[in-house]
Structure 1
Amino acid sequence: MQLTYKHTYNGTPEQVVALMRNKDFIIDVAQHAGATSHDVQIDGNVTQLRMSLPVPGDVAKFVGKDVDLSQRFEWAEPAADGTSTGQVNVSVKGLPVTVEATAVLRPTGATTAGEYSGDLRVKIPLVGGKVEKMVAPFIEQAFAGIERRAQEWLARDQQG
């Protein structure tokens, strides 16, 4: 299933990427997502977030009441025009669920336009497509949560 998310950030691509490499920011994202536990590892351009999340009722019958989600963000150095590109990968421990997306952050004056596009795959015979449709809103909420938290952090930076 194809996924596309568009975000607007009140900062530069460089500021957004810096947030994605900030351990405190990633912990904040996990806490606001409702994670019951989390672990953050940052190694250069790669940020890895592992967290356990409660699952919405309709999906829980397929995957259980909690899922162990792993998100990996990798950002390249910015291009001459200020654009930053990256890869976002999401996997669920013990389940054949993956998201592989390309991220592009483009400067647009005082803001940054972010676009994430890729594929959600659920490799379960016969019901994979149905589960993809059930999981897609969950993934969308995760991406939207990152945008909301980034907006708050960027606003704090601009005030202080």
Structure 2
Amino acid sequence: MSTRIVKELVYEAPLSDVAAMLADQSFREEVCVATRATKYAVTVKGVHGDPLEVRIEYSQPTEGSPGFAKKLVGSEVDIVQSETWTSLEHGDIHVTIPGKPGEMVGTAVLTEADGVTTETVTMDITVKIPLVAGKIEDLIGKNLGRALRAEHRAGVAWLAR
């Protein structure tokens, strides 16, 4: 079983500008700050279609999380996000929590219409812990939604510069 999350982020900018933003290490670092990462390391290698590879290793505090979640990961959680962009329009995403039984796998797809770009992020969340998997997947989905809203705000500000 898994939980699927689909989010659309709309940017008033051409696809090429949004793709360049997503490939920019400084932008990805700004997103880490916007999502309250306590520590982070961002690596961007290659160019779109080469493929472009983005790796983000970061830690997030678990304050405000339910007690059962804190018992599993502690006061903060380490996350590794890897993206492989095979074109300007398509990236495959894989997110893990090292040492924990779960992952998120999905895609980011960019489409443009009349100079407006929509980034559609589709993620399947899988947790392999009997009895509480659904609760944890739901919690991760809510956290993913908050993180994507923070990324969108950072992206709108970035593109407005």
Aligned to 2:149: 144
* Local SS of the residue matching 1:126: coil
Match of 1:63 in 2: 73
The answer for unaligned runs of 5 or more in structure 2 is 47-51
Please list the CA deviations of residues 26-55 of structure 1 after superposition, one character each: whole Å capped at 9, or x if unmatched.
Answer: 111101111111101111101111101101
Aligned: 1:3 with 2:13: no
Distance 1:118 1:30 in 2: 19
Answering whether residue 29 of structure 2 is matched by residue 27 of structure 1, we say yes
- Decide which of 113, 120, 132 is 2:137's aligned counterpart: 132
Deviation at 1:110, TM superposition (A): 2.0
Q: TM-score, normalised by structure 1?
A: 0.88
- 1:85 match: 90
Q: Among 2, 16, 23, which residue is 1:14 paired with?
A: 16
Shift of 1:62: 3.0
Task: Provide the rounded CA distance (Å) in 1 between the counterparts of 2:20 and 2:101.
Answer: 31
The alignment status of 1:104 with 2:109, answered yes or no, reads yes
Return the alpha-carbon distance in structure 2 between the equivalents of residues 138 and 114 of structure 1.
18
Deviation readout 1:96-139 (Å, 9 max, x if unpaired): 22111111110111210111113011111221112111221011
* Deviation string, structure 1 residues 77-109 (Cα, Å, up to 9, x no partner): 24xxxxx11112211122122111111110111
CA distance in 2 between counterparts of 1:12 and 1:97 reads 35
CA-based RMSD: 1.3
Q: Does the Cα contact within 8 Å between 2:55 and 2:82 map onto a contact in 1?
A: yes
Supply the distance in 2 between the matched residues of 1:17 and 1:110 (Cα, whole angstroms).
13
Pairwise CA distance, 1:8? 0.2
* Structure 1 partner of 2:49: none
The aligned residue for residue 128 of structure 2 is 123
Is residue 100 of structure 2 the alignment partner of residue 95 of structure 1?
A: yes
Q: Structure 2 length normalisation: TM-score?
A: 0.87
Q: Distance in 2 between matches of 1:106 and 1:15?
A: 12
Q: Output the CA distance in 1 between the equivalents of 2:32 and 2:9.
A: 19
Is the Cα–Cα contact under 8 Å of residues 20 and 73 in structure 1 kept in the other structure? no
Output the CA distance in 1 between the equivalents of 2:108 and 2:25: 19
- Percent identity among equivalent residues? 28
Q: Distance in 2 between matches of 1:149 and 1:94?
A: 30
